[in-house]
Structure 1
């Protein structure tokens, strides 16, 4: 899931006259382009419905329409935020917890009913209508200013609106009133646009609080689930790995103690065997500790921690990390865990011969990572499995998780985590 927050509207540092002028210019531009944009969207919708049963071509057109509407909504939210400094969170694509092609279709379905996107599109439509009115009022203002100079001509009458005629003597008064009325109408539409835009695009306080509660609840559930899976993993590793090895060391030392008097050579071999097993147990404990917490992550950052992780990997790993700064400890730990678990799965289950890890600190303070391998694919999120642990760990950090693993491969896993998580 994606956590979206919005702050209450703030005043634009630009002076009111400049803000009104910018609003008028933007409305005029939308008045020119609006008809063409909505004409294209209507054509895409009509073609999608018309070709829906022609080899399913219409489905692709309708999916394209959803993306086009999202792009339009994203533009409108960004435009209102830049114009009025409203502190609005950018519009983001809705994601689904499901993976693969079914997850992608589910995301499209969720996006098509996203209320925030439709509010932005509705506001864009209102802005286009307002822009068309602004253009008409602008031409009315020009016409009014023009007829104000009618007495300087030799004409006895001038052409008025709707084909009417106006005596030249009345033209200056009517022209001045027309200029004032047109200018007032243009400014009024600009002010009305601001009120409507902030009311429609900016989430209400109740909606914002509801979204925060929902996001917090989901993060809490993800954190609880991730902690439970981590505890289960540690118990399993201790029970299946370190514990039997230490039991074996104890039994070997017991045999050596019995033979030390009668057969010193055999006892010496048993002690050497126990020593080797002890070192292997220490190695397993260190690896288990790294899975719980990587100290190098705190000391030297995510790049160094991933370099050490790639060096210990059982398959060759191509590492591409580009970060200009550091993120929060929780964000880096979540991404590190996701990459480490993905490489472990690739080495154990996918029969991959190589893997690639890409990490970027994206604009907007988002930590993005992608892990790819050339294995046989078919990976799925199973309750209690490693991928389930990744999904819950990322969810607990307020991020998103996406898995694409068709049969036959390749497998790719992407995570996005806000740096301030």
Structure 2
């Protein structure tokens, strides 16, 4: 005799499973709702405090916490809905205040996440109180009605249906209505849970074309940075040529002209002027060579980026160590940008950090060149303090790269630069 197939309990009673999953989702959502409300308030306080630059240090830890909270809620919503919920929260937590405000509040993912915090913060606890609190009020109402019936009347009391119970029919009506409403609410618990999960999905998921919109915002910012960096570079080259090389060449011409007029009347003086003109021409050649090197250092062609960085470290006034983790050759423009980022960072460390040691690390990771420069100095570096950090950021952003600065007061200072190096 064959044994009949017995369906699992979950399959025979799916409403029990749905009710359990719904209550579990709503109970956890009540706790995360309070956390979301507090997180939204924290973002408001941090943004206000950032105006006088007091809240800059709180951006990263608050963004990390928000990322963990939203990731947890997306995973819960995905499990309940049976489909993954992608995230769109990618905050910018470094740079100046206007830079952060501009990039974050023009990012749809950031704005939608900030909107989700109070939405979930209010909706989740209210839904939990309705679905979990109503059965307790039902129990109390039924107890009062039953007590009124079995004690041959008693003191009239107000029901939750806006009438006063002062007779047996009204007491029975109250019991029936209370149980009916409770049954409807309990039956709707899975629906409430899915509604809450869909709210999370709608606000925390990317838009239909999120990456395109995000890239437009990013490329608009990097294009502006590239144009600004290019203009600054042209002005620097023009200034170097005008104030240095051109001035020396004018002096050479004048000295040779004077020497020519003095050739017959004062040969000794003419010879001295020719020597001065030769020295000026030699200095001009050296200055012109420095200008050319500032455009693209020849050492990059001769020794590669690792050799060029070793040469920079050798010339650094502070003891500097270099760690190169098997980097591969990048496009020439990217290597030049990396060279100048390191050179500027070492110059900043020598001028401002009071450090005893600097460490430079280069590695290639996920198609990007990662540069990490750290020192054991006094810290407290700020981009707006005229230390060249803004120039480093603009040079990196011109290549769609990113810069992260960590410099608490007391040190250490670490500058991490990421430059895409795919050809």
> Taking structure 2 as the reference length, what is the TM-score of the superposition?
0.54
Residue 93 of structure 2 corresponds to 95
Residue 325 of structure 1 corresponds to 328
* Cα gap change, 1:408 to 1:104, in 2 (>3 Å): farther
Alignment of 1:399-418 (within 5 A): 399-403=401-405, 412-418=414-420
Deviation at 1:228, TM superposition (A): 0.7
Which of 210, 213, 216 matches 1:210?
213
Give the gaps of 5 or more residues in structure 2: 1-19, 50-54, 122-194
> In 1, Cα distance between the equivalents of 2:58 and 2:240?
50
Deviation at 1:270, TM superposition (A): 3.4
**Whose relative contact order is higher, 1 or 2, with alpha carbons under 8 Å and at least 6 apart?**
1
Residue 68 of structure 2 corresponds to 71
Deviation at 1:276, TM superposition (A): 2.8
Contact 2:96 2:384 in 1 (8 A): no
> In 2, Cα distance between the equivalents of 1:328 and 1:79?
44
* Cα gap change, 1:354 to 1:240, in 2 (>3 Å): farther
* Cα gap change, 1:218 to 1:40, in 2 (>3 Å): closer
> In 2, Cα distance between the equivalents of 1:334 and 1:75?
39
> In 2, Cα distance between the equivalents of 1:61 and 1:44?
17
> In 1, Cα distance between the equivalents of 2:307 and 2:404?
25
Give the gaps of 5 or more residues in structure 1: 1-27, 126-191
Contact 1:249 1:274 in 2 (8 A): yes
> In 2, Cα distance between the equivalents of 1:107 and 1:218?
8
Deviation at 1:225, TM superposition (A): 0.9
Deviation at 1:46, TM superposition (A): 6.5
Deviation at 1:230, TM superposition (A): 0.7
> In 2, Cα distance between the equivalents of 1:33 and 1:286?
69
Provide Cα deviations, 1:183-225, integer angstroms capped at 9, x if missing partner. Answer: xxxxxxxxx9x99998776523333332222122112111111
Residue 7 of structure 1 corresponds to none
Contact 1:355 1:371 in 2 (8 A): yes
> In 1, Cα distance between the equivalents of 2:213 and 2:297?
36
CA RMSD of aligned residues (A): 5.6
SS in 1 for 2:342: helix
* Cα gap change, 1:71 to 1:36, in 2 (>3 Å): same
Residue 419, structure 1, aligned to residue 421, structure 2:
yes
Which of 285, 291, 294 matches 1:291?
294
Residue 310 of structure 1 corresponds to 313
> In 2, Cα distance between the equivalents of 1:267 and 1:72?
81
* Cα gap change, 1:93 to 1:225, in 2 (>3 Å): same
Which of 362, 371, 374 matches 2:373?
371
* Cα gap change, 1:78 to 1:229, in 2 (>3 Å): farther
* Cα gap change, 1:373 to 1:110, in 2 (>3 Å): farther
> In 1, Cα distance between the equivalents of 2:35 and 2:269?
87
Larger radius of gyration: 2
Contact 2:345 2:373 in 1 (8 A): yes
Residue 394 of structure 1 corresponds to 396
* Cα gap change, 1:282 to 1:65, in 2 (>3 Å): closer
